[in-house]
Structure 1
Amino acid sequence: MIRFSRRLVSQAAAAAVLALTMPLAMQAQAQAQTATGPIKIGVLTIDAGPFATYASLVEDSSRAAVDMLNAEGGALGRKFEVVVQSHAGTPSSAIAAVNRLVQQGGVSFVTGQTPTSHSLAISPKLAALNALMIDVYSQGDDLMTKACQPNFFRVTTPDSVYAAMLREFVKKSGAKTWNLISPDYAVGHTFAAKFSDIVKEQGGTVQMSLFAAQGTNDFGSYITQLAKPADALMVTLYMSDGNSFAKQQKQFGLFDKYKTVLGNGFATEFQLAAQGDSVLGVLNGLSYHNTMPGERNAAFVKAYEARFKRKPIYTDADMMVALEMLRAAIVKAKSTDVPAVRTALAGLKAPTVFGEVEMRAADHTLIRQLGVAEVVRTPDGKATTFAMRSVEPGSALFPPPSPECKMQ
């Protein structure tokens, strides 16, 4: 049996009183320090699996965006600072990483590499952590419908919007039969369902819809099935999975069997160098291109080229817009207090590298442009690049707010 002396009990009681009073004093001191210190931006990256190849790009884009905003004065006379936290690439490890950023890193604002499954896991935890997230990565529709959360915002284009952008191309293609290959996790199934609906709306038929596990190395069995072609093929495969599929399909001449090949996150600027000629002619939804109009975008492109000796791609632009919107919300709120910034960000309209955009208050979704681009050869014939075929404003593409979204 453990016995406690009266003296020890008295000491414990005194400690309890301190525990009740000290946090208030410490909080006031922390707030005073924070008011003059940097505004910390937590950036999640994945260091394992097929998404690991993307981690350095996410970190680079966050640091570049912060440096550009700091060169413009930061916000409220304070500079932004990036705090990077890597993890293993599972929803549970993503939650743990956010906890470390907030509890150990002093972070209130989070962004970074968050596939849909990660965002779905993180977003319900944000309010309890008194943290706010601006998603630059996920595409799942649930995050703006039944799974929306008050401390979660998103600048990326969701699946339904990509599908809407591709609707016109489905119509123009004249294809009546389609085959689909998608990743076997949430975003793949969501997009496949949305795209199948579009095909049916146009009087067509999806005759084959395949789902490949994340990290697939050998796509041979999938290619064999797809070699019995329809009129057109939709490919929704990301990162190293997309690269592997592109190279392996070329060995079999798979794309040559189709009149039209569309991509969703498949042939992207980030992957073109690795994919090479294997994706020539693919039409891909593209949320940003460096040739898009606007003085702010032109300045952004110039600064990026000077820093990285390359033009910015969609991931760079998404990060820049996320932090532009955060800065505008902080300035509007005249505070970095999370509830105040959340209130300011909901419904906020601000100038960005995309032009003037709006963070829709009803579901915390950024209403923004989207285009479709074709993979073509560069003028010198030595590489591949994108040629924009259409750009549509967000007002023409985004669905109205869903009644399933209940902001608490």
Structure 2
Amino acid sequence: MKKSLLASLAFALAGSTAAFAQDVSDNVVKIGILNDQSGVYADFGGEGSVAAAKMAVEDFGGTVLGQPIEIVDADHQNKADVASNIARQWYDTENVDAIMELTTSSVALAVQALSEEKEKIDIVTGAATTELTGAQCSPYGFHWVYDTHALAVGTGGALVEQGGDTWFFLTADYAFGYSLEEQTSEFVKANGGEIVGSVRHPLATNDFSSFLLQAQSSGAKVIGLANAGLDTANAIKQASEFGIVQAGQRLAALLFTLAEVHGLGLEAAQGLTLTEGFYWNRNDASREFGKRFMERTGRMPNMVQAGTYSAVLQYLKAVEQAGTDATKPVSEALHSMPVNDLFAENGTVGANGRMIHDMYLMEVKAPGDSTEDWDYYNVLATIPGNEAFIDPAESGCDLVSK
């Protein structure tokens, strides 16, 4: 009788273990970091985002629901077709459960559409277009770090209030640039400012001279750089060579992060106003993370890299809460859980997938005001999340109940 009882108990335990293992597909939770690792945005996210994702896995404990967590990564070369092919292979043959980062708006939109088709989760930390949580929203798509609306509210609003009421835009010629120019223009005009002109430039151009001369001759008080990465840095360098700032016009770097400030140097970047969702030297938690990231990468993290850490960590928490890595339960958990970590305090996720959190208006310090390496910003203001981001009910996302 004892043997029979023990056999029954062993069978029950074996069945329980098998059922538990089935909660994680293929006995591993696999997350893909897909971004630019060799082009104009390589410093913007790049290998730093991969490192941040791995840090999140380590901090979570390395396993979830008793199964290992794996990070894979690839370079999408800022090409939507390349990104889509990699994402399709990851989903179809490599059993990737979620894809994150996705720098470049055209890439993010393409991969989000594919992810919805495949019923897989994507969390965008590196792209800016509000279309991701607007007309092209997805029940499995999330937008985590920043967007063009938040950048417009931050940088655009600050300069209009300081008297920068006429603007000329240098705009990257793709979806991100158009969206950033449009959002900022609307905000400038709503606050009494005027748009006097704009010009579009190719992605990764090396020569901004003709574009800058048009901006200079416009007489605008503010030249808005609706671009990112090396494009913004090159435009600032060449503007300095033309003496544009010295002559009285101001440069507004509408998407510029700590990584680009470091590459440019404080001598050239001093006085720039910009908006980020994270600064390593803002509080104790951000400083602790920044120092660990520095030990691993030799650099301090910007908002994209810290945001990727947050996205991976929150995804793993959602898998744990859902008790499975199946897409629909994890998506429901991501929508319902508050976000509290070194990146966001009391962040919330709207029905459209937009993670709403505070943003920060920064001014780049003069070289003499910096007290240590990577001490580049003065935090001028905190922009509450409900001001920085579009109300989900007004986003144009058909998933949101009106």
Same fold (TM over 0.5): yes
Q: Offset of 1:215 from its aligned partner?
A: 1.6
Instruction: Specify the code of the residue in structure 2 equivalent to 1:68.
Output: D
- Asked whether the equivalents of residues 86 and 97 of structure 1 are also in contact (C-alpha less than 8 Å), the reply is no
The reply on whether 1:136 has 2:128 as its aligned counterpart is: no
Match of 2:355 among 357, 363, 366: 366
Cα separation, partners in 2 of 1:89 and 1:175, compared to 1, 3 Å: closer
Q: Offset of 1:41 from its aligned partner?
A: 0.7
Instruction: Specify the code of the residue in structure 2 equivalent to 1:186.
Output: A
- Distance in 2 (alpha carbons) for counterparts of 1:155 and 1:283: 22
Q: Offset of 1:393 from its aligned partner?
A: 2.2
The reply on whether 1:44 has 2:34 as its aligned counterpart is: yes
- Distance in 1 (alpha carbons) for counterparts of 2:229 and 2:99: 23
- Distance in 2 (alpha carbons) for counterparts of 1:207 and 1:328: 48
Give the alignment's Cα RMSD to 1 decimal: 2.6
Match of 2:399 in 1: 407
Cα separation, partners in 2 of 1:308 and 1:397, compared to 1, 3 Å: same
- Asked whether the equivalents of residues 99 and 121 of structure 2 are also in contact (C-alpha less than 8 Å), the reply is yes
Instruction: Specify the code of the residue in structure 1 equivalent to 2:30.
Output: K
Cα separation, partners in 2 of 1:335 and 1:34, compared to 1, 3 Å: closer
Match of 2:385 in 1: 394
Match of 2:201 among 198, 212, 221: 212
Using the TM superposition, name which of 243-252 and 49-58 deviates more.
Answer: 49-58
Q: Offset of 1:265 from its aligned partner?
A: 1.4
Q: Offset of 1:51 from its aligned partner?
A: 3.1
The reply on whether 1:251 has 2:236 as its aligned counterpart is: no
Q: Offset of 1:263 from its aligned partner?
A: 1.2
Identity %: 21
Deviations 1:198-233 (A, max 9, x none): 222222211121211102111110121122232222
The reply on whether 1:337 has 2:326 as its aligned counterpart is: yes
Match of 2:79 in 1: 90
Q: How does 1:6-21 map to 2 (within 5 A)?
A: none
Cα separation, partners in 2 of 1:116 and 1:384, compared to 1, 3 Å: same
- Distance in 1 (alpha carbons) for counterparts of 2:317 and 2:374: 39
The reply on whether 1:264 has 2:254 as its aligned counterpart is: yes
Q: Offset of 1:90 from its aligned partner?
A: 1.3
Q: Offset of 1:33 from its aligned partner?
A: 9.4
- Asked whether the equivalents of residues 133 and 353 of structure 2 are also in contact (C-alpha less than 8 Å), the reply is yes
Match of 1:202 in 2: 191
Cα separation, partners in 2 of 1:298 and 1:57, compared to 1, 3 Å: closer
The reply on whether 1:80 has 2:89 as its aligned counterpart is: no
Instruction: Specify the code of the residue in structure 2 equivalent to 1:192.
Output: E
TM value normalised by structure 1: 0.84
Instruction: Specify the code of the residue in structure 2 equivalent to 1:67.
Output: E
- Distance in 1 (alpha carbons) for counterparts of 2:249 and 2:65: 54
Q: Offset of 1:271 from its aligned partner?
A: 1.3
- Distance in 2 (alpha carbons) for counterparts of 1:368 and 1:381: 28
Q: How does 1:304-343 map to 2 (within 5 A)?
A: 304-343=293-332
Q: Offset of 1:74 from its aligned partner?
A: 4.1
- Distance in 1 (alpha carbons) for counterparts of 2:159 and 2:360: 14
Cα separation, partners in 2 of 1:40 and 1:373, compared to 1, 3 Å: same
Partner secondary structure for residue 233 of structure 1: strand
Count of residue pairs the alignment pairs up: 377
What stretches of structure 2 of length at least 5 have no aligned partner?
1-17
Instruction: Specify the code of the residue in structure 2 equivalent to 1:200.
Output: K
